[in-house]
């Protein structure tokens, strides 16, 4: 480490687990880096872990900024929300036009859009970058999702490509698009993560309560799955959790002492919210978010369990056959989870003009990130062949994989429902598939109902125009008897319609 105060090529604000480990990762790759944190303990920890490496920590913001080569490149890894704005406000008087600021936290994409416009107007480069992989990923190779100022990213590209995870020699980082594209993609990544985690939790429940398996056997089943086509980071850590004993040495599984109340930081909720805004259905993510919320009502659940007993029963059928079907069901549901996320990304790309390359996203998710899995290779191949693929389920290979695993999916959901086992994520994945493969849904009835009570109009099969029907006679009171149905009356633009109402005597053009 040089004593020259302006030798550092990169700066990091926030020396918590993620920020500190990313700095150490950069130092391992030969980059001289500086870190800033108001907490002296975090700075001291960086010094201890970075001993002998080209890294230095600061508690003085001015000294930190002055230690970095110009034009400066500084990344923030601090909690999303107002803290990011306060850090920017603290840094701006110390920076110069042309310097680069990077938000590497889980900021909401609308905040990133606002900050980018504001900082560009002040002469600064800014981009948001999602970082996935947790502590281990940050230290040894994360997946990174930058978007926004492309020129600024090109400046940082050599650093990020060096520290990223690599799969088949390719770095798991790429510029994804303008504006807040990077943070949007990271948000959807986290939504998919919620769905997959809920599916694994429901699988655990089926194995433990539905099949009566011991903890050790459950861990072995997850390990077996992880050695096959279901290979993924989340299953890998799950089999480790089932092997972890209580530190007090009593030999029991730590998992069994953990409260069944799941927490969340909000990114899953954001994904559901924006999906509804974009009218892109992601029911498996929605179910996962809802189940985290429901889990927090522990006292209420205990009370209701007493009132509505008995407890859920065992799955009916041959155990070995059910295990095979459960593996199929998980694979099927995993496909649906990714498919929902990729469809949401495609809709967002249209709406926000991100021009997302879905093959690139799948490619950089294959290593380093929390949702990395063997199946991402199939997603990459599908969108590499056709980046304009309207939906992942249209790909011939994915179609083959889906159809081959569908029988197990149906068997497991049916058995779980019959036994009273809660499987909302599994059920949502199956219903999502069945609805999307239905050429004519019963949604025409909803449109008729909307027109009946609110004159919201509807469209007709094979005819142009928007229509409204006076379904009953005038009512003087909501409880008054219904009058005879009237004819279809085209709304604007007017289109003649010869379709008769239920009362032929009243029919007219």
Strand partners, 75: 12, 102
pLDDT at 343: 98
Task: Read off the pLDDT of each residue in 159-164 and give the average, rounded to a whole number.
Answer: 96
Active site (annotated) includes residue 306: no
What is the CB neighbour count within 10 angstroms for residue 384? 15
Task: Read off the pLDDT of each residue in 455-463 and give the average, rounded to a whole number.
Answer: 94
pLDDT at 116: 94
Task: Read off the pLDDT of each residue in 489-498 and give the average, rounded to a whole number.
Answer: 40
Considering only CA atoms, give the Rg of the chain. Answer: 27
| Tokens describing residue 44 | 């001291």
pLDDT at 12: 96
Compute CA distances 115 → 84, 109, 272, 353, 380, whole Å. Answer: 10, 10, 23, 18, 32
508 vs 190: which has the higher pLDDT: 190
pLDDT at 264: 86
| Tokens describing residue 69 | 């080569």
Backbone torsions φ then ψ of 294, nearest 5 degrees:
-60, -35
Pairing of strands 143-148, 125-132: antiparallel
Rounded Cα distance, 415 and 322, in Å: 9
Q: Is 303 helix (H, G, I), strand (E, B) or coil?
A: helix
**Is the whole-model pTM more than 0.75?**
yes
How do residues 301-323 score in pLDDT, each as one tens digit? 999 999 998 888 999 999 999 99
Instruction: Name the band, by pLDDT with cuts 50, 70 and 90, for residue 500.
Output: very low
Active site (annotated) includes residue 186: yes
How do residues 288-301 score in pLDDT, each as one tens digit? 999 999 999 999 99
Rounded Cα distance, 15 and 43, in Å: 7
How do residues 82-113 score in pLDDT, each as one tens digit? 999 999 999 999 999 999 999 999 999 999 99
**pLDDT over threshold 70, residue 503:** no
358 vs 266: which has the higher pLDDT: 358
pLDDT at 6: 56
How do residues 370-385 score in pLDDT, each as one tens digit? 999 999 999 999 999 9
Task: Read off the pLDDT of each residue in 381-392 and give the average, rounded to a whole number.
Answer: 96
Q: Is 266 helix (H, G, I), strand (E, B) or coil?
A: coil
Task: Read off the pLDDT of each residue in 119-126 and give the average, rounded to a whole number.
Answer: 95
Rounded Cα distance, 324 and 174, in Å: 38
Compute CA distances 280 → 169, 247, 293, 351, whole Å. Answer: 34, 45, 22, 11
Mean pLDDT of the chain: 91
Helix axis angle for 40-49 and 17-28, nearest 10°, is 30
How do residues 334-377 score in pLDDT, each as one tens digit? 999 999 999 999 999 999 999 999 999 999 999 999 999 999 99
Beta carbons of 472 and 482 less than 8 angstroms apart: yes
Task: Read off the pLDDT of each residue in 455-483 and give the average, rounded to a whole number.
Answer: 77
Beta carbons of 100 and 74 less than 8 angstroms apart: yes
Task: Read off the pLDDT of each residue in 474-485 and give the average, rounded to a whole number.
Answer: 47
| Tokens describing residue 137 | 């990923």
How do residues 23-55 score in pLDDT, each as one tens digit? 999 999 999 999 999 999 999 999 999 999 999
Residue partners of 334: CB distance under 8 A and separation at least 6: 196, 199, 230, 232, 373, 375
Backbone torsions φ then ψ of 90, nearest 5 degrees:
-70, -35
pLDDT at 488: 52
Which of the following is catalytic: 113, 193, 198, 327?
Answer: 193
Task: Read off the pLDDT of each residue in 245-262 and give the average, rounded to a whole number.
Answer: 91
3-state secondary structure 435-503: HHCCCCCCHHHHHHHHHHHHCCCECCCCCCCCEEECCCCCCCCCCCCCCCCCCEEECCCCCCCCCCCCC
Residue partners of 16: CB distance under 8 A and separation at least 6: 37, 42, 77
**pLDDT over threshold 90, residue 507:** no
Closest C-alpha among 56, 61, 21 to residue 37: 61
Which of the following is catalytic: 53, 186, 239, 363?
Answer: 186
Rounded Cα distance, 319 and 328, in Å: 14
Pairing of strands 488-490, 467-469: antiparallel
Beta carbons of 264 and 294 less than 8 angstroms apart: no
pLDDT at 509: 24
Beta carbons of 365 and 337 less than 8 angstroms apart: no
pLDDT at 156: 94
DSSP string, 82-93: HHHHHHHHHHGG
Q: What percent of the chain has pLDDT over 90?
A: 87
**pLDDT over threshold 90, residue 508:** no
**pLDDT over threshold 80, residue 118:** yes
pLDDT at 474: 61
Neighbouring C-alpha atoms within 13 Å toward the C-beta of 104: 30
Structural domains of the chain ordered from first start: 10-179 (3.40.50.720), 186-436 (1.10.1040.10), 440-509 (1.20.5.320)
């Amino acid at each position: 480490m040089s004593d020259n105060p302006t030798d550092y090529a990169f700066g990091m604000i926030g020396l918590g687990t993620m920020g500190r480990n990313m700095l150490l990762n950069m130092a391992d790759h030969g980059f001289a880096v500086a870190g800033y944190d108001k907490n002296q303990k975090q700075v001291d920890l960086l010094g201890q872990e970075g001993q002998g490496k080209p890294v230095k920590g600061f508690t003085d913001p001015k000294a930190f900024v002055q230690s970095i080569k110009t034009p400066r490149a500084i990344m923030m890894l601090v909690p999303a929300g107002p803290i990011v704005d306060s850090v920017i406000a603290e840094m701006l008087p110390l920076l110069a036009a042309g310097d680069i600021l990077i938000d590497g936290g889980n900021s909401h994409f609308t905040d990133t859009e606002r900050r980018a416009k504001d900082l560009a107007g002040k002469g600064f480069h800014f981009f948001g970058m999602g970082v996935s992989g947790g502590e281990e990923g940050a230290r040894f190779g994360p997946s990174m999702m930058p978007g926004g100022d492309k020129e600024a990213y090109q400046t940082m590209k050599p650093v990020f490509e060096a520290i990223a995870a690599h799969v088949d020699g390719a770095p798991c980082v790429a510029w994804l698009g303008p504006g807040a594209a990077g943070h949007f993609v990271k948000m959807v990544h986290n939504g998919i993560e919620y769905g997959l985690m809920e599916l694994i939790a429901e699988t655990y429940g089926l194995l433990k309560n539905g099949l009566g398996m011991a903890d050790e056997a459950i861990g072995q089943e997850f390990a077996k799955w992880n050695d096959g086509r279901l290979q993924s980071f989340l299953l890998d850590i799950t089999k480790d959790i089932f092997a972890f004993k209580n530190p007090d040495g009593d030999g029991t599984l730590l998992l069994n002492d953990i409260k069944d109340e799941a927490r969340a930081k909000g990114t899953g909720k954001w994904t559901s919210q924006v999906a509804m805004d974009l009218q892109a259905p992601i029911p498996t993510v929605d179910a996962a978010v809802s189940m985290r919320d429901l889990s927090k009502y522990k006292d209420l659940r205990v009370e209701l369990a007493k009132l509505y007993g008995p407890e859920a029963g065992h799955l009916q059928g041959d155990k070995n056959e059910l295990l095979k079907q459960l593996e199929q069901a998980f694979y099927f549901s995993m496909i649906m989870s990714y498919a929902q996320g990729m469809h949401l990304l495609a809709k967002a790309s249209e709406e926000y003009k991100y021009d997302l390359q879905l093959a690139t996203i799948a490619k950089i998710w294959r290593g380093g990130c929390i949702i990395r899995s063997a199946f991402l290779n199939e997603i990459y191949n599908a969108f590499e062949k056709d980046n304009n693929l309207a939906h992942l389920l249209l790909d011939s290979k994915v179609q083959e994989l889906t159809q081959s695993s569908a029988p197990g999916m149906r068997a497991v959901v049916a058995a779980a429902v019959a036994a009273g086992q809660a499987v909302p994520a599994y059920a949502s994945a199956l219903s999502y598939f069945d609805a999307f493969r239905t050429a004519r849904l019963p949604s025409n009835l909803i449109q008729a109902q909307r027109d009946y009570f609110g004159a919201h109009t509807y469209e007709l099969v094979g005819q142009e125009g928007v229509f409204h029907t006076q379904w009953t006679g005038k009512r003087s009171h909501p409880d008054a008897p219904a009058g005879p149905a009237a004819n279809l009356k085209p709304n604007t633009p007017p289109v003649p319609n010869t379709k008769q109402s239920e009362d032929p005597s009243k029919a007219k053009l």
